[in-house]
Amino acid sequence: MSVLLQISPPSRQSAYRGLPVLALGFRPFYLLAALFGALSIAAWVAMYAGLWIPAAPPWLGGMLWHAHEMVFGFSAAVVVGFLFTAGKNWTGLQTPQGAWLGALAGVWLLARVLMWTGPAWAAIAADVAFLPLCSLSFYAILRRAKSQRNYGLAIALGLMGALNIGFHAAALAGRLDWSLYTSEAATGLVTVFVTVIGGRVIPMFTANAVPGVRIRRWATVERGVIPLTLLATLAAASPAPGWLVAVLALGAAVAQGVRLYGWDSMRTLRKPIVAILHVAYAFLPVGFLLIAAAAAGWIDRSTALHALTVGVIGCAIIAMITRTALGHTGRPLQTGTMEHLAYLLMILAAVIRVAGPLALPALKLQAVTLAGACWATSLILYAIKYAPFLTRPRLDGKEG
The gap from C-alpha 164 to its chain's centroid, in whole angstroms, comes to 16
Determine what percent of the chain is predicted with pLDDT higher than 90. 94
User: Same domain for 106 and 165?
Assistant: yes
**Domains of the chain: total:** 2
User: Same domain for 338 and 297?
Assistant: yes
Say if CB 313 and CB 187 are below 8 A apart. yes
DSSP, res 69:
I
User: Same domain for 157 and 293?
Assistant: no
Closest CA to 37 of 340, 375, 315: 375
pLDDT of residue 2: 36
At 5, the pLDDT band (50, 70, 90 cuts) reads very low
- pTM reported for the whole predicted model: 0.94
DSSP H helical ranges for 173-218: 176-209
pLDDT of residue 271: 96
Residue 4 has pLDDT above 90, yes or no: no
pLDDT of residue 186: 97
pLDDT of residue 14: 57
- The tens digit of pLDDT for each residue in 234-275 reads 999 999 999 999 999 999 999 999 999 999 999 999 999 999
User: Same domain for 314 and 227?
Assistant: yes
Range of the domain at 270: 183-392
User: Same domain for 151 and 229?
Assistant: no
pLDDT of residue 173: 96
pLDDT of residue 42: 98
- The tens digit of pLDDT for each residue in 315-355 reads 999 999 999 999 999 999 999 999 999 999 999 999 999 99
Closest CA to 352 of 318, 336, 335, 376: 376
